[in-house]
Structure 1
Amino acid sequence: MSAMDKMKNKAEELTGKAKETTGDATGDRDLQAEGKADQTTGNLKQAGEKVKDVFE
């Protein structure tokens, strides 16, 4: 996994966490759900990159 991909995926995960936290604090369920989705996407991308690394 390239370092740039790792940083992008981690940034997406952290952005999602921030959105989720903000949604929790403000009672905005849409923002909270969007944050969780962003975190999941970031985690899945990281997992996909790890699988690619195994086969390279």
Structure 2
Amino acid sequence: MLAHLNAATGDTLSVVLTPRGIELSAAEPDFDAQMAAAREVMARRKRALRELAK
């Protein structure tokens, strides 16, 4: 299963519950950095994003 996911022992996996069952995938290596950048932008542009959400 790890080979199919292109993962190795000790790698982080993502588990998501879907209507069809459980989805298991290898975690994206850049995901944490991308989320940190997104949170920074959201914090700086909070007012604009709030207006756009209306």
TM-score (norm 1): 0.32
Structure of larger gyration radius: 2
Between Structure 1 and Structure 2, the one with more strand by share is 2
Between Structure 1 and Structure 2, the one with more helix by share is 1
Query: Which one has more relative contact order, counting CA pairs under 8 Å at least 6 apart?
Result: 1
